[in-house]
Structure 1
Amino acid sequence: MRDYLDIIKRNLLSPIVVVVFLLAGALVYVREYRDAWFISVVIVVNSTIGIVQELRAKRVLRQLELMSAPKARLLRDGNVVEVDYDDLKIDDEILIQAGDELPADAKVIESKGLELNESMLTGESASIEKKNGDVVLAATTVLAGEGMARVIAVGDDTKAGAISQVLKHYKPELTPLQLAIWRAIYFLTYGAIILSLLIAIVYYFSGDNVVIILKTITSAAVTVVPEGLLLASSLLLAFGSLRLAQAKVLPQKLSAIEAMALLNLLAVDKTGTLTSDEVSLEKVASFGDDFSSSDVASFAALIAHETSGGNITGRAILAEATPPKDTEIVDVMAFSSARKMAGVRARVNGTVRTLIMGAPEFVSKLAPIDKETRKKLNDWADKGLRVLMMAEFADEKTKIKDLKEGSGMAIGAVILRNSLRHGVVETVDFLQRQGVTIRVISGDNPRTVQYIAREAGIKHPEKVILGADLAKLSDNEFNEAADTYTIFARVLPDQKERLIARFQQSGKFTGMVGDGVNDALALKKADLGVAMYAGAPASRRVSDIILLNNSFTSLPMGMKLGNQIMQAIEVIAILFFHKIIYGVTLLLTTILINMNYPYSPRHITFMNIFLVTMPTLMWTLFPPMPKHRINPKRFWRDTLLAVLPIALLTGLTVAFTYWIMSVVFPGHAAEVATMTVLTATFFGVYLVFLVGIMLDVTIDKAAKRARLLYLLSVVVVAAGSFGFGFLRDFFDFTVPNLFIMWPAIGVIILATLTQLFIARRVGRRISTSVG
């Protein structure tokens, strides 16, 4: 209820609404009841529409939030069911695995190499090992292993507080572009106050009465403040987000739509991003005669079963190999991105075996290999295959994670195939044609990553550097390497974050695509964090966008839709800025030539129907199709500055038309006012067609249909307003008299041709600047 009251309060007590009600009260005081009633009804209707639309937007955004909300895996009656965090109760037993964010405070009752990152609560990012009986806290992240825990505190009773409170309280967050629009509204509101004071002073010393002064002030105030622009942008972003979700791209923040438009560097992981999420076991090879390939496969299956937590690599191995039957687990070291390996110590058929499987570069430090074996490993990697090396250790007492370098013996390798994801080549080509630089940041073997990057069509795949080499560099050398290399292989999670920070520091608007818990730091740091829906909950929680179909290839569709939304905002902004600039120009010109402002408040409302209301509805229903990427950083240049000369020309032409008709036909004030309104309306309608030329948008079938619908609406509304006597009186019009416009026809035609010329020049400039 509180959220709804906040929305109502925000819409009814905005500065412009308060000012209009005060002006309405003043009009009532001077007995101008009709204008007072009219502007009051209009502002109430507008505010009501704003409230209804914001409530709808709230509901849409809440639906989007709930779509991406992580679930807890609850053990119930021997089955695993997924439930919302809010549905957990004390003593519930939950399953946790690598990549999870803990939904509640709990006590571990079974641990398989469970390691947590508690930096959310302690500030320390070190991995903390958790054993049976240890307490794990809500909001911490599982880095490695898996286990089971019993819930001891939920919601506000946990140490971290309520995890899902963000879904319970609606707080509208404006995007950077909306903030700029909001500041413009405040600036123009104060500008309207200054104009009102100017009108009051000039009109008072000109001898005008209070009624004329108040009517003019009210008309100017309604003209100057673009209160509908922020509402229009909010609606476009909110319902644009829903369209994106339907295209399998779920924005968790409205600002993500702008971020997609600004993106010029994208860092991607290899596994699950460039490659598919399907991994198959290619083959298992043994080194030497002590073990057969089937022995190595059996040991690999044992490690996968105990440490993989059901990840795709573990599933691929277990699909083709079976762990030894007579096995008793003694110790487990789960896989982590920092170690790049996993291990098991177990009694197998009565013999204690200490086994490790992982990245050859890391395992070979513990179990050295000869040149021939290294060449085999490299040859497999050069073919794009993923290689895991297997080693055995005679040490039965030292903890697996503390085994000494050189103490093991390499016994074989597990070779996995992870093919290029379908559509990645087209996606990479699209992004690079859009001017987006792609960097690959992976924990995988550099040769494998190079092969995949080359297959995907990423530029300069030969420029590769290892995380170990990055660690040896000074800050300046690191920055130079980040700017130089395309592929960063065998990197650690903190190095990913540091690379993203460097890309941003060098002036790049940086995106990061990832799916694992090891990507969470980089995703959070990036300007645009993109996570896979099937990825680790921790990575989803910190991302700006979630790819619902787990496919990197859906990003271009999201960028195209986001581009349409940003283009629609620019189009509507141009219409509002035109209305404001021309209105102020007309007002100041009439003051300079000592004439009264030609419009009453009702006239302004009539014109707004054609100048902003109907076009806004049209472009919301039929978003324009841009020919290029929209850059929000150029918003003011492409909208306000672009339309400025056209709006000034409209204002001066309408002022001239008003003046010349008043001079030539001095006894026809009411007819002159009506024809001045129609002249301004004509230029507003004309701009709806010019704006496509100005912004260089594609006039496709949808755009043509939208324009036709708009024209029909203009004809119907205009015919009704002037054809029915009661509506004509309601808007304070006379029957249109085209004859009295003849002195201004030449100037109007010249102005329209000049505006067309300006629009085309603006369109060419925009097309060239982005080309």
Structure 2
Amino acid sequence: MIDAEAPPPAETSPEGLTSAQVAERVARGEVNDVPARSSRSARDIVRANVFTRFNAIIGTLFVIIMVFGAPQDGLFGLVIVANTAIGIIQELRAKKTLDALAVVGEAKPRVRRDGRTTDVTPRELVLDDVCAIGAGEQIVVDGVVVEADGLELDESLLTGESDPVHKHPGDPVMSGSFVAAGNGAFRATKVGRDAYAARLAEEASRFTLTRSELRSGLDVILKYVTWLMVPVGILLLVSQLRSNKGDFSGAMTGMVAGVVTMVPEGLMLLTSVAFAVGVVRLGRKQCLVQELPAIEGLARVDVVCLDKTGTLTEGGMDVGEVRTLAPDLPVKEALGALGTSDPRPNASLQAIIDAHPAPEGDGWRVTGVEPFSSARKWSGATFAGEGSWLLGAPDVLLPQGDPVLRDVDELGAQGLRVLLLAKADGPLGDRAAEHATPAALVVLEQRLRPDAADTLRYFASQAVAAKVISGDNALSVGAVAGKLGLAGAEHPVDARTLPEDRAELAQELDDNTVFGRVTPQQKRAMVAALQSKEHTVAMTGDGVNDVLALKDADIGVAMGSGSAASRSVAQIVLLDNKFATLPAVVAEGRRVIGNIERVANLFLSKTVYALLLSLLTGVASLPFPFLPRHLTLIGTLTIGTPAFFLALGPNTERARPGFVPRVLRFAVPAGVVAAGTTFLTYWLARLNHGSSLEQDRTAATITLFMVAMWILAIVARPYAWWKLVLIAAMGGGYLLAMFVPFLSDFFALYPDDLPNWGIAVGIGLAGMGVLEFGWHLSGWVRRRHPAAVSWQAGADSAKTGAKEKAEEKA
């Protein structure tokens, strides 16, 4: 990296450096030493997924049970392995794809050294290297032009401005731009981290995880559970030592059985599974999700900031109209012939080539060419039998005050580019335009993505506001957005007039839709202003100028063909560059959020009843009513297995904030009912002195299973055939565990005490009745007071159920 205190580098010859000069600069550290980085390292990925609060809690309890209990009571420890593996594998998969993209997209600069032009890697460039550039090549470091032959640079990745910029010797060039037309050479004046694009990328290089309300909510719950585990664990251990007459191993097993059930371990795993399945589904649509929670984030988005270039428009242009000014001249043939005169056509000429094929006949054989010059702003060609023709800027080729210029101004105000085709009266030369006859106006329009209009309509139907934020001319951006049917496009705003105050800027963003001439710093400020008004913001982009805004947005969406810097900071990369993939991401996120919230009711109900059972058992100084394997069985049949299928089923319910309060409103009453009925069964069974502890525990297991199954039945509503089959299969599984000898021995279930049976089933039925009454009561309250939030958060509306069934059939 260059020392900021070092003197400015000496001027070098356009022929480039010698090997000795290169060696000197390498020794001084004046090299392009920007590290190649497309994502966070494998070590960071493993560390982030292994060292979590959840793994620490479950891991500690697993070690305790392995030391003091039976191996079959430690089955819950497998969740750590599965949960961690899913997160690591998915992120490493995304990293591999991104690294491959970075290598494929890496520019190969051509430098002049020792009188020869050679290809080098970007990291082999040194200060003062002279780099040869041609059409389509990327500028990888900052520099100054030393040669220019019709040189035009596309700086849209840096500025958002789609119009090529003409360059002359002495003009600066910035890394991240591309050669749009012509050729030339430039001398490197800033390399490494001093280069413009590198400074932007370095500012955005700190890896930040997507905020996930699901994950955050679960972390909050887990934090409180952690705090409660210590006093509850101590209480349980003391009570178990007293009730087990000093049997420390038995007391530790009872304590772990109560504490581990408080941890919603399966919910953490299921959240990862649901996210991972969503990632796979989106991967089939050529959408790379770098972080698991990103699909949830986009489902919660209510504002999407779109960059025009590369998002709403494709590369290249189209001929929208040809207005003939001289009907007697062969306009179409001349346009087709001009296309054959330039071996390296720019975007404007390529659009003409696409619209008008080359004419046949020797009369259109090229005999002379005048390349485009930014000084004269036109190009031309002479043909064997048709004379000379010019194509360029109307205000140059037409005299001032010509009435045709009024049409040109009107078209320009609509964001269209206009070229004039003229027939020269004499030979080509600098003065050819002075004696030219106007033949036609060629109206060029930017090429719109065919799927952009449908995607904007989708967002509008989902109440997601779309804001077009571009560095291009505001009128041009407004014209593009208007053609796509975006509401508010008729009032584009020039960002140079926007206030700097965040509150005032946020109001302008709320009131308007289309913004032009936006700088990279303003894009970032716009994202922050929207977030200050509690909006969840998604930002799309493909250029270096989008990097900081992509990083600050709640969700960054980059195009696969965009810059490596934008791909590395975005959470979602559209590998096929299709803007139309975004609705699929939103829908997948909604499926994940809706289903995880549904099954969270199951898991947190278990947390509540485990906590209450632990407290009741500790206060009553009774042996804990379950072994860990009992709770593993009940959790698997009433929560784990059904939750897996429920989490992956269809769900189109709109994402809503307030995940934790809604879930608790369901889980707390359900958990209280489950804990109360179970403890009542266990306490009455203990009063039956003719039964053993194993039989009393079996009775408690029966009651808890019945109540937990009814919680599942409520959460699964509205019913579909597969849900009914699932519930029936779980009930059958429990009966097998009860009455198949080797299974009943494995799970320590002994259903041979009839009095206990009667107590367990009777109280279980009563608990199911209480749950059903509560569900109907909450529905009645919801119908009478629509604004009220029901504790029946696990049940969906009939409309959602109809959509689910329609999706299942599809």
Query: Deviations for 1:17-57, whole angstroms, at most 9, x for unmatched residues?
Result: 44224423652xxxxxxx332234x2554444345544543
Q: Does the 8 Å contact 2:341/2:381 carry over to 1?
A: no
Alignment equivalent of 1:756, drawn from 775, 778, 781:
775
- Separation of aligned partners in 1, 2:83 and 2:696: 35
- Separation of aligned partners in 1, 2:169 and 2:405: 40
- Separation of aligned partners in 1, 2:523 and 2:259: 52
Q: Does the 8 Å contact 2:699/2:751 carry over to 1?
A: no
Residue 655 (1) aligns with residue 679 (2): yes
Alignment equivalent of 1:638, drawn from 649, 662, 684:
662
Residue 720 (1) aligns with residue 736 (2): yes
Q: Does the 8 Å contact 2:158/2:544 carry over to 1?
A: no
Partner letter of residue 247 of structure 2? V
Deviation at 1:690, TM superposition (A): 1.8
Aligned residue for 1:224? 262
Aligned residue for 2:486? 458
Q: Does the 8 Å contact 1:252/1:544 carry over to 2?
A: yes
Matched residue of 1:19: which SS?
A: helix
- Separation of aligned partners in 2, 1:304 and 1:527: 46
Q: Does the 8 Å contact 1:530/1:545 carry over to 2?
A: yes
Structure 2: where are the runs of 5+ without partners? 1-41, 111-118, 359-364, 383-388, 423-437, 780-789, 801-810
Aligned residue for 1:38? 72
Aligned residue for 2:246? 209
- Separation of aligned partners in 2, 1:733 and 1:235: 31
Query: Deviations for 1:57-107, whole angstroms, at most 9, x for unmatched residues?
Result: 34543455357545236699xxxxxx999999999x997877958499999
Q: Does the 8 Å contact 2:305/2:467 carry over to 1?
A: yes
Which piece of structure 1 moves more, 540-549 or 640-649? 540-549
Alignment equivalent of 2:704, drawn from 662, 677, 680:
680
Residue 735 (1) aligns with residue 747 (2): no
Matched residue of 1:587: which SS?
A: helix
Residue 578 (1) aligns with residue 605 (2): yes
Give the fraction of aligned pairs with identical amino acids, expressed as a percent: 21
Residue 195 (1) aligns with residue 211 (2): no
Deviation at 1:183, TM superposition (A): 5.1
TM-score (norm 2): 0.69
Aligned residue for 2:626? 599
Alignment equivalent of 2:280, drawn from 242, 264, 267:
242
Closer/same/farther in 2, CA of residues 509 and 378 from structure 1, 3 Å limit: farther
- Separation of aligned partners in 1, 2:699 and 2:59: 31
TM-score (norm 1): 0.72
Deviation at 1:237, TM superposition (A): 1.8
Alignment equivalent of 1:185, drawn from 217, 222, 233:
222
Q: CA RMSD in A?
A: 5.6
Closer/same/farther in 2, CA of residues 637 and 740 from structure 1, 3 Å limit: closer
Closer/same/farther in 2, CA of residues 369 and 538 from structure 1, 3 Å limit: farther
- Separation of aligned partners in 1, 2:402 and 2:450: 36
Residue 434 (1) aligns with residue 434 (2): no
Aligned residue for 1:282? 320
Closer/same/farther in 2, CA of residues 344 and 426 from structure 1, 3 Å limit: closer
Aligned residue for 1:19? 60
Aligned residue for 2:12? none
Deviation at 1:430, TM superposition (A): 2.6
Deviation at 1:537, TM superposition (A): 5.2
Q: Does the 8 Å contact 2:244/2:251 carry over to 1?
A: no
Partner letter of residue 61 of structure 2? V
Deviation at 1:681, TM superposition (A): 2.0
- Separation of aligned partners in 2, 1:630 and 1:7: 27
Closer/same/farther in 2, CA of residues 280 and 102 from structure 1, 3 Å limit: same
Closer/same/farther in 2, CA of residues 84 and 207 from structure 1, 3 Å limit: farther
- Separation of aligned partners in 2, 1:655 and 1:544: 47
Matched residue of 2:557: which SS?
A: strand
Partner letter of residue 695 of structure 2? E
Deviation at 1:462, TM superposition (A): 3.8
Deviation at 1:559, TM superposition (A): 0.7
Closer/same/farther in 2, CA of residues 482 and 171 from structure 1, 3 Å limit: closer
Aligned residue for 2:649? 623
Which piece of structure 1 moves more, 744-753 or 215-224? 744-753
Partner letter of residue 376 of structure 1? D
Closer/same/farther in 2, CA of residues 594 and 194 from structure 1, 3 Å limit: closer
Query: Deviations for 1:209-267, whole angstroms, at most 9, x for unmatched residues?
Result: 23443222111221122333333222322331121121343323334212212211123
Residue 613 (1) aligns with residue 637 (2): no
Aligned residue for 1:399? none
Closer/same/farther in 2, CA of residues 549 and 258 from structure 1, 3 Å limit: same
Alignment of 1:554-565 (within 5 A): 554-565=581-592
Matched residue of 2:634: which SS?
A: helix
Structure 1: where are the runs of 5+ without partners? 28-34, 77-82, 121-126, 334-342, 393-409
Partner letter of residue 544 of structure 1? Q
Q: Does the 8 Å contact 1:649/1:751 carry over to 2?
A: yes
Deviation at 1:614, TM superposition (A): 0.9
Aligned residue for 1:79? none
Partner letter of residue 630 of structure 1? A
Closer/same/farther in 2, CA of residues 314 and 596 from structure 1, 3 Å limit: farther
- Separation of aligned partners in 1, 2:446 and 2:135: 23
- Separation of aligned partners in 1, 2:635 and 2:461: 40
- Separation of aligned partners in 1, 2:45 and 2:513: 49
Query: Deviations for 1:649-677, whole angstroms, at most 9, x for unmatched residues?
Result: 22112222222333357635432211211
Query: Deviations for 1:670-719, whole angstroms, at most 9, x for unmatched residues?
Result: 322112112212233322332244xxxx756xxx425524532541x324
Alignment of 1:320-339 (within 5 A): 320=355, 326-327=368-369
- Separation of aligned partners in 2, 1:519 and 1:185: 36
Matched residue of 2:749: which SS?
A: coil
Alignment of 1:327-406 (within 5 A): 327=369, 373=404, 375-377=406-408, 380=411, 386-388=416-418
Partner letter of residue 443 of structure 2? I
